[in-house]
């Protein structure tokens, strides 16, 4: 194992630990750091290894998935994914980052002062749509889902977001494959990161019971806020 692959595994392990503990954060942490090592790690290999993480999270917490909520999230996610491919050709990166960054920050701010949206078919479908749109354009699906599930129990939040990310990752990989950006070489590159991911996941699962629900929830919302601020900063700098 080369030093570059070793460092990449450490990064993926840490990102996997954070996402397994809080429900989001893998893409925001792993992708910017991996591309500093090798640009070829994004988007295909990082998406591929995140798919493994999402499947592992769902498999270990299938009973915690909010099935009814997911049923109303899915149509929005699919439509948002398609819309995102259109937005890429119509909306500048600056405009996208500013619009969605401020939307997420505004929703989180309202939640902190007691105006968090209660889950409903409309709220879930809207969150799924924004998640699909953001994920297609920026590769980050989690923050809109964190807004939707900020009132839910952390176990439900983690399992449901992971289930959504399984679908989102598969859709993204199919799209990348059809355009020639994901194939055997990218798959092998992603598989080389699985050892680090496995360690991070195992540490999170074994240590998660020692983390209070309020801490996990606040950490998830903090990561969502940092994602939004990062999106805004990248748009204006």
What is the distance between the alpha carbons of residues 122 and 35, in angstroms, rounded to a whole number?
A: 37
Instruction: Determine which of 13-27, 37-51, 62-76, 212-226 has the lowest per-residue pLDDT on average.
Output: 212-226
Phi, psi for 114 (deg, rounded to 5): 100, 10
pLDDT at 200: 95
* pLDDT confidence of residue 5: 94
204: burial class by Cβ within 10 Å (0-12, 13-18, 19+)?
buried
Average pLDDT of span 32-36: 82
pLDDT confidence of 19, banded at 50, 70, 90? very high
pLDDT band, very low/low/confident/very high, at 233 (cuts 50, 70, 90): confident
> Which residues have C-beta within 8 Å of that of residue 208, sequence separation ≥ 6?
20, 21, 216
| Average pLDDT value over all residues in the chain | 85
Structural domains counted in the chain = 1
DSSP label at residue 61: S
The confidence score (pLDDT) of residue 110 equals 64
CA distances from 121 to 13, 71, 187 (A): 35, 9, 36
In the predicted structure, residue 234 carries a pLDDT above the cut 90: no
DSSP state of 23: S
Mean pLDDT of 145-151: 86
Cα–Cα distances (Å) from 111 to 116, 132, 197, in that order, read: 4, 22, 32
Q: Which domain holds residue 95?
A: 3-236
pLDDT-derived band at 171, boundaries 50, 70, 90: confident
- pTM here is 0.81
Q: Kindly report, residue by residue over 78-111, the tens digit of the pLDDT.
A: 998 888 777 766 766 667 677 777 877 776 776 6
State the Cα–Cα distance between residues 75 and 82, nearest whole angstrom: 11
Q: At what angle do helices 154-178 and 121-138 cross, to 10 degrees?
A: 50
CA atoms in the 13 A half-sphere facing the CB of 205? 15
């Amino acid at each position: 194992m080369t030093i570059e692959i070793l460092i990449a595994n450490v990064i993926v392990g840490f990102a996997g630990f954070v996402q397994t503990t809080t429900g989001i954060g893998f893409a925001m942490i792993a992708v910017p750091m991996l591309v500093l090592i090798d640009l070829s790690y994004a988007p295909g290999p990082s998406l591929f290894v995140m798919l493994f993480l999402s499947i592992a999270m769902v498999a270990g917490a299938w009973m915690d998935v909010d099935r009814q909520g997911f049923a109303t999230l899915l149509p929005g996610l699919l439509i948002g994914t398609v819309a995102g491919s259109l937005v890429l050709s119509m909306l500048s990166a600056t405009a996208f980052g500013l619009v969605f960054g401020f939307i997420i920050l505004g929703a989180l701010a309202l939640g902190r002062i007691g105006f968090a949206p209660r889950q409903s078919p409309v709220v879930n479908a809207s969150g799924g749509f924004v998640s699909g749109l953001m994920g297609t354009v920026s590769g980050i699906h989690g923050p809109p889902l964190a807004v939707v599930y900020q009132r839910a129990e952390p176990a439900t939040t983690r399992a449901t977001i992971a289930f959504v990310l399984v679908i989102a990752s598969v859709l993204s990989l199919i799209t990348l494959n059809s355009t020639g950006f994901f194939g055997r070489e990218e798959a092998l590159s992603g598989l080389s990161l699985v050892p680090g991911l496995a360690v991070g996941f195992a540490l999170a699962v074994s240590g998660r019971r020692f983390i209070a629900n309020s801490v996990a929830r606040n950490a998830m919302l903090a990561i969502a806020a940092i994602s939004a601020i990062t999106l805004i900063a990248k748009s204006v700098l």
